[in-house]
């Protein structure tokens, strides 16, 4: 009995599908989200350290006046569990973020807001 070209095509597709299912980890790796950089969970310790140079602003938005520019690896006091949703920003490896934390600026000891993706808990 002679097999039709359509049967061969279907058989080939089925064989390739079976091979794809037999190779472990390929489907899981494709559906796994990329690992994101870590950052503060909202100032649970009262202190944070900057992962990069970052601004402390008067309001939680990128257009607000800057109170202070903090250098990478400098630490600041922060208000416990102070996460606030504000203006969106791209910073420190994150895009379209909008979480801000309350930071105590060393300029006149004023409280300001800074992009939470640029801070790690101490």
- CATH number of the structural domain spanning residue 86: 2.30.30
Task: Tell me how far apart the alpha carbons of residues 51 and 38 are, in angstroms, rounded to a whole number.
Answer: 10
Nearest CA-CA partner of 103 in 39, 43, 53, 41 = 43
Position 77 pLDDT exceeds 50? yes
Identify whether 87 is part of a domain.
Answer: yes
| pLDDT tier for residue 38 given thresholds of 50, 70 and 90 | confident
Identify whether 28 is part of a domain.
Answer: no
3-state SS assignment for residue 79: coil
Identify whether 101 is part of a domain.
Answer: yes
| pLDDT tier for residue 30 given thresholds of 50, 70 and 90 | very low
Identify whether 72 is part of a domain.
Answer: yes
Side-chain half-sphere CA neighbours of 94 within 13 A: 22
């Amino acid at each position: 009995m002679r097999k039709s070209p359509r049967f061969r095509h279907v058989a080939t597709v089925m064989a390739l599908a079976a091979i794809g299912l037999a190779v472990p980890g390929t489907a899981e790796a494709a559906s796994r989200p990329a690992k994101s950089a870590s950052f503060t969970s909202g100032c649970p310790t009262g202190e944070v350290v900057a992962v990069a140079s970052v601004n402390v602003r008067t309001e939680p938005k990128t257009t607000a006046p800057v109170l202070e520019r903090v250098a990478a690896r400098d630490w600041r006091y922060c208000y416990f569990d102070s996460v606030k949703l504000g203006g969106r920003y791209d910073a420190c490896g994150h895009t379209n973020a909008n979480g801000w934390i309350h930071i105590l600026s060393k300029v006149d000891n004023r409280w300001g807001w800074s992009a939470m993706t640029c801070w790690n808990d101490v």
